[in-house]
Structure 1
Amino acid sequence: MNQVKTTELEKRIYQDYGTVAGIIILKNGQLQYENYFNSCTKDSRIHVYSVTKSVLSLLIGIAVDKGYLKNCSQKVLDFFPDYTVKRREHTIQNITIGNLLTMTAPYKYKYFAPYIKYFKSNDSVRFTLDLLGGKGQIGKFRYTPVIGPDILSGILTKAAGQPVLDFASEYLFSPLGITVKKSIVLQNKEEQIAFNSSREISGWVSDPTGVNTGGWGLTMAPSDMAKIGQLYLNGGVWNGRQIVPAEWIKKSTEVQSKWENLSYGYLWWIIDEKEHAYAALGDGGNVIYVNERKKLVAAVTSLFAPRAKDRIALIREHIEPIFEDC
């Protein structure tokens, strides 16, 4: 490792990426760099926002492999037989798990999601089902960072017969040595703000019904995120054990839908098709980045700040050149 280059990297982080909490870089499965900033340590747990989605995608793949789910073509409403579809509402009946994974499901609101009502809801799945469908086109990309993925979480909860956190602990977190201690119900705005800024809470937010959030709400350390990145780089194998099928990882990280010049897999962003580089991206600058050609994994946690500077640019322009020849 070139000490001069890493010193330059840290200067750039302090100068341009001042909210970074921790960074871990793996190359060929070996630790190449680990550092913490802003008084954070290896034990700090940060709310990683939409990185939660990519973890949920992984769990859906495990559920298919274990037989809890059949495939991505299953209709969403098959899992909610008691849900009453409004008169003349036909679109929702044709939306599949695959549409939710690829962000190609339509929603009834036009531009701005009703976040305030969402956060006040006691049943996030039913609240989201009421917004699903409408006059939009199934198959057209529509990114729903908060409202939407909870339906997948509700489906997994029903299919597996247990909370998503319990399922994750059994089939993913425990095998990888990741600790997520508890489900957390946020009672008010003040608790929400405190959770978002905390560095010490280990958990996964759930609604009052016990359904863990699908699009946000998971806290992790960089080491946890690096393990998930390495699991993907290993084709789903960890310590000789197949945790998630290699075929699921392949499909998850291939282009399944597009939004202008951006490509999307199964709740993973596709960064570079030629190098097969992809990432889990969370608001505020939280990232799990995998470059399969370079055999490199980068995990970045960040304290939240609006409009955080692009961490993918940090990784591609300033981290990869240092470690690609290690």
Structure 2
Amino acid sequence: MDQRKKIGLEKIINSSYNNTTGIVVLKDGKRIYENYFNKYTATNEIHIASVTKSIISILIGIAIEKGYIKSVDQKVLDYFPDYTVKTGEKAIQSVTIKDMLTMTAPYKYKSEPYEQFFTSNNWIDFALNLLGGKAENGKFTYSAIVGSHILSGILVEATGQSVSDFATDHLFTPLDIHIGSDVVLHDKEEHIAFFQDKDVSGWVVDPQGINTAGFGLTLTPMDMAKIGQLYLNRGVWEETQVVPAWWIDESTKEHSRCSQWGNLPYGYLWWIINEKEHCYAAMGDGGNVIYVNGKKEMVVSIASLFVPRAKDRIKLIREYIEPMFEDSVFWLRMV
């Protein structure tokens, strides 16, 4: 019966979630399921899209723990002392790192000007120029790419390292995760190709060489699962405290709420799925997910190629994957 369920699951994936490239399921710290689709293998990286934001959240927490950043209550402009605030624009002066992490910072735009952002000479300055305005501070306003990039600028200013170097030293190396080289996207065609290409690797950088925060990182499904397991372990990896436990507690509890997507609670660049089960996720376009269920001690990572309006992977996990793999003893024998 269980084997039939496994076959049934993969039929569902191949029919209804057919842009999936890989799925890894960990239960009680053990790998109980791993499979690849669309001619991908365990070594293929995928562009994880907005899952990158949750990686940035982790790096902010590490930077605070190590003293590079004082707290989430620091003002954003503390890290950009040369930025000139225009006359009458006071809202930007009160914006904090916490506002950026919880998507409650105000912006001057109604919809993000992606093309203008990507074609500007300085993405950080462009983003700062859009921060503030007359919008209400404290109201959830999802910034997919533009505003999120400011957090990368803060990391660079605070640590004196590139984001990728800081991440490698303090997050990826302890987890034995290897990321590719920096990726420069010169024009619109290269941007589109990066989102659609099946063979990408590395981390996108802006014209100043600052790694992106809202998108642009590539990882394997197992890399993604390791991040989830690290959080399930409260920041400990092989007896080393990689991420402070207090940061995991803070970043995976509700701080704001996204009204346009089912009133879903939001932490520090993590989506809160079910507070009673301490269930949360990093989610990106196309169906890229790092999913953690603290109560069930389960991690699910799903890597996917970009397609518009991808089907909800959380529904796939909650309705199909979790119920199948709750009995880890059987599946450990199957792997």
1:163 aligns with 2:162: yes
- Report the AA paired with residue 100 of structure 1: M
Q: Secondary structure at the match of 1:318?
A: helix
- 1:111-190 to structure 2, matched below 5 A, reads 112-190=111-189
- Report the AA paired with residue 258 of structure 2: W
Name the structure 1 match of 2:30: 30
Per-residue CA shift, 1:52-102, capped at 9, x if unaligned?
000000000000011110100000001000000010100000000000000
Name the structure 1 match of 2:294: 292
TM superposition shift of 1:325 = 2.3
Name the structure 2 match of 1:250: 249
- 1:195-214 to structure 2, matched below 5 A, reads 195-214=194-213
- Report the AA paired with residue 148 of structure 2: P
Please, which moves more after superposition, 205-214 or 186-195? 186-195
1:312 aligns with 2:327: no
- Report the AA paired with residue 304 of structure 2: S
Overall identity of the aligned pairs, in %? 59
TM superposition shift of 1:198 = 2.8
TM superposition shift of 1:199 = 3.3
TM superposition shift of 1:259 = 2.0
* Structure 1: 4+ residue segments shifted above 6 A: none
Give the number of equivalent residue pairs. 325
Q: Secondary structure at the match of 1:175?
A: coil
1:79 aligns with 2:82: no
Instruction: Say if 1:179 and 1:202, in contact at 8 Å, map to a contact too.
Output: no
Name the structure 1 match of 2:285: 283
TM superposition shift of 1:196 = 1.4
Name the structure 2 match of 1:271: 273
Q: Secondary structure at the match of 1:270?
A: strand
Per-residue CA shift, 1:7-29, capped at 9, x if unaligned?
11001101111100000000000
CA distance in 2, matches of 1:53, 1:265: 12
CA distance in 2, matches of 1:13, 1:201: 23
Name the structure 2 match of 1:95: 95
TM superposition shift of 1:119 = 1.1
Instruction: Say if 1:91 and 1:134, in contact at 8 Å, map to a contact too.
Output: yes
TM-score with structure 1 setting the length: 0.98
- Report the AA paired with residue 197 of structure 1: Q
CA distance in 2, matches of 1:181, 1:259: 33
- Report the AA paired with residue 187 of structure 1: H
- Report the AA paired with residue 180 of structure 1: I
CA distance in 2, matches of 1:150, 1:244: 22
CA distance in 2, matches of 1:228, 1:80: 30
TM superposition shift of 1:138 = 1.2
Per-residue CA shift, 1:272-300, capped at 9, x if unaligned?
01111000000010000000000000000
CA distance in 2, matches of 1:225, 1:206: 21
Q: Secondary structure at the match of 1:151?
A: helix
Please, which moves more after superposition, 199-208 or 18-27? 199-208
Instruction: Say if 1:48 and 1:220, in contact at 8 Å, map to a contact too.
Output: yes
Instruction: Say if 1:47 and 1:198, in contact at 8 Å, map to a contact too.
Output: no
CA distance in 2, matches of 1:172, 1:200: 24
CA distance in 2, matches of 1:118, 1:41: 34
CA distance in 1, matches of 2:130, 2:28: 44
Name the structure 2 match of 1:235: 234
TM superposition shift of 1:190 = 1.9
Q: Secondary structure at the match of 2:124?
A: helix
